[in-house]
Amino acid sequence: MIEQTERIEHEKAHGKKISHNAEAVWGWATPAGKLRAERRAKYLYELGQFNSSHQLLEIGCGTGLFTEKVSKATSASITAIDISDDLLEVARKKLPEVSFKIDDAMNLSFADESFNGVYGSSILHHLDMEKAIEEIYRVLKPEGRMVFAEPNMLNPQIMAQKNIPFIKKMMHESPDETAIVRWKMKKQLEKTGFKNARVFPYDFLHPATPSFMIPLVKSIGTIAEKILGLQEIAGSVIIYAEK
């Protein structure tokens, strides 16, 4: 078992290493990546039913890409945290109006029942997920919602890059990150006390898709997401649950 302090140090080092081009490393800077980010953000705020009266916590905000999208769509009051000060420095310059803070998602500094919603993009798979989910549950208000988008372990590329060391290094991944097996995640959510938990696969649009191929790939992906069995190898999963 990886010690929590060791995991944190790995993530800090990783954040420092990629801070100058993080969104490119994560695949959000390409034409297809930008479309994927818009769709992902929409899932976060629409499933969460977030609005201007809400206090939200974003976990693993990185450079603030999804902070900005959720803020613009909802006008909610957002506190955004990350373990990497290097990534937060980028986010603060981009969004000076948002409250950014260094914090550990596995040991949150916030009081019980502080937030109406907790969300994040591609962060839970970096953490001790059991501890992180327990902390999310603790800081959510009654009837609060959590929504996360994460890599799907059943996707062939994701499976390779999370489990084969030289591919993991080539893809600029941090040492401890993994991916989500959706039925295991649902079981963990229910064990923690969440209700109405849903974990579903989506997204066949690869960030490296050339611009001229995007309409075709999107059309094929829309069909694939509806085919039982085939949908399981989509690139991402959405995780939703209520307290």
What separation in angstroms does the CA of 121 have from each of 53, 217, 228?
22, 22, 25
The b-or-e profile of 65-80 (16+ CB within 10 A means b, else e) is: bbbbbbbeebebebbb
User: Tokens 């080092």 appear where?
Assistant: 13
Going by pLDDT thresholds of 50, 70 and 90, the confidence category of residue 125 is very high
| Per-residue pLDDT tens digits for 154-166 | 999 989 888 877 7
pTM, to two decimals: 0.92
Going by pLDDT thresholds of 50, 70 and 90, the confidence category of residue 1 is very low
Rounded CA-CA distance 141/173 in Å is 33
Are the beta carbons of 50 and 117 closer than 8 angstroms? yes
How big, in percent rounded to 5, are the helix, strand and coil portions of the chain? 45, 20, 30
**Nearest alpha carbon to residue 54 among 3, 2, 116, 147:** 116
Residues contacting residue 210 through CB under 8 Å, at least 6 positions apart: none
Domains and CATH numbers, the chain: 4-242 (3.40.50.150)
| Per-residue pLDDT tens digits for 38-76 | 999 999 999 999 999 999 999 999 999 999 999 999 999
Residues contacting residue 107 through CB under 8 Å, at least 6 positions apart: 4, 131, 135
